[in-house]
Amino acid sequence: MDPSQTSSFSASQATSKSVEVPKGHLAVYVGEKQKRFVIPISYLNQPSIQELLSQEEEEFGYDHPMGGLTIPCSEDVFQQISSRWD
């Protein structure tokens, strides 16, 4: 199943900080086009996202001009990894 189609995991082309994120979720930006995904904060406990966040820290630091976390991988890789989180 495509995780972007589930209710707990959504993708949006909108990158504006004014787009609300539901309680218990956070926005992450993935890939060259910085596609916005909204994920449950519980996913932060997953070893695979922790590894991606470590890479993100090394590559981008903690200053995020888009107001969310930037994940340094392609959209396809992110969706493949995140499909295992449910």
What are the residue ranges spanned by the domains of the chain? 25-83
With cut-offs at 50, 70 and 90, classify the pLDDT of residue 57: confident
Q: Does residue 2 carry a pLDDT above 80?
A: no
The residue type at 4: S
Residue 27 pLDDT > 80: yes
- Strand runs labelled E in 1-86: 10-12, 25-30, 35-40, 69-71
- Is pLDDT at 8 greater than 80 in this prediction? no
Token digits for 23? 């309680």
The mean per-residue pLDDT over the stretch 41-50 comes to 90
